[in-house]
Amino acid sequence: MSQKAKLTNLVRQKAGELGFAFCGISKARRLDEEAPRLENWLKKGRHGKMAYMENHFDKRLDPRLLVDGAKSVISLMINYFPSDHESYQSPLKVSKYAWGKDYHFVIKEKLKILTDALIDEAGSVNYRIFVDSAPVLDRAWAVNAGIGWIGKNTMLISRRNGSYFFLAEIITDLELDYDNPFGGNYCGDCTRCIDACPTGAITGPRQLDASKCISYLTIELKEAIPAEFQGKMQNWIFGCDVCQDVCPWNRFSISGTETAFQPLGNWIEWTIPDWEAMEKTTFKKVFGKSPLTRAGFLKLKNNISFVAEFEEEGNEQE
The SS3 call for residue 167 is strand
Angle, alpha carbons 53-57-61 (nearest 5°)? 115
List where CATH 3.40.109 sits in the chain: 3-81+100-172
The SS3 call for residue 136 is coil
For the cut 90, the answer to whether the pLDDT of residue 305 exceeds it is yes
The pLDDT of residue 312 is 54
The pLDDT of residue 264 is 80
Mean pLDDT of the region 216-224: 96
The pLDDT of residue 178 is 98
Question: Would you list the DSSP string of 203-220?
Answer: EETTEE-GGG-HHIIIII
Confidence band (pLDDT; 50, 70, 90) for 84? confident
E-strand stretches of 209-309: 236-238
Q: How many residues are listed for the chain in this entry?
A: 318
Mean pLDDT of the region 222-243: 96
For the chain, what is the total number of helices (H) and then of strands (E)?
11, 10
Burial of residue 22 (CB within 10 Å: 0-12, 13-18, 19+) is: buried
SS percent in the chain: helix, strand, coil, step 5:
45, 15, 40
Mean pLDDT of the region 45-60: 91
Task: Fill in the DSSP letter of residue 181.
Answer: P
The terminus-to-terminus CA distance of the chain in angstroms comes to 71
Q: Lowest-pLDDT range, 64-73, 250-259, 286-295?
A: 250-259
- The CB-side HSE value for 227 (13 A sphere, CA atoms) comes to 0
> Closest by alpha carbon to 71, among 28, 29, 31?
28
The pLDDT of residue 313 is 52
Q: How high is the mean pLDDT of the chain?
A: 94
Phi-psi region of 49 (alpha: psi -120 to 50; beta: other; left: phi over 0): alpha
For the cut 60, the answer to whether the pLDDT of residue 318 exceeds it is no
CATH topology for 3-81+100-172 is NADH Oxidase (3.40.109)
Model pTM score: 0.94
Catalytic residues: 132
CA distance 239 to 220: 10
Mean pLDDT of the region 84-103: 93
Q: Are 46 and 146 in contact (CB under 8 A)?
A: no
Q: Are 99 and 262 in contact (CB under 8 A)?
A: yes
E-strand stretches of the chain: 22-27, 72-79, 93-94, 127-130, 149-150, 156-157, 165-172, 202-204, 207-208, 236-238
Task: Fill in the DSSP letter of residue 162.
Answer: B
- The CB-side HSE value for 5 (13 A sphere, CA atoms) comes to 2
Residue scoring higher pLDDT (132 or 188): 188
CA distance 144 to 96: 26
Mean pLDDT of the region 232-257: 95
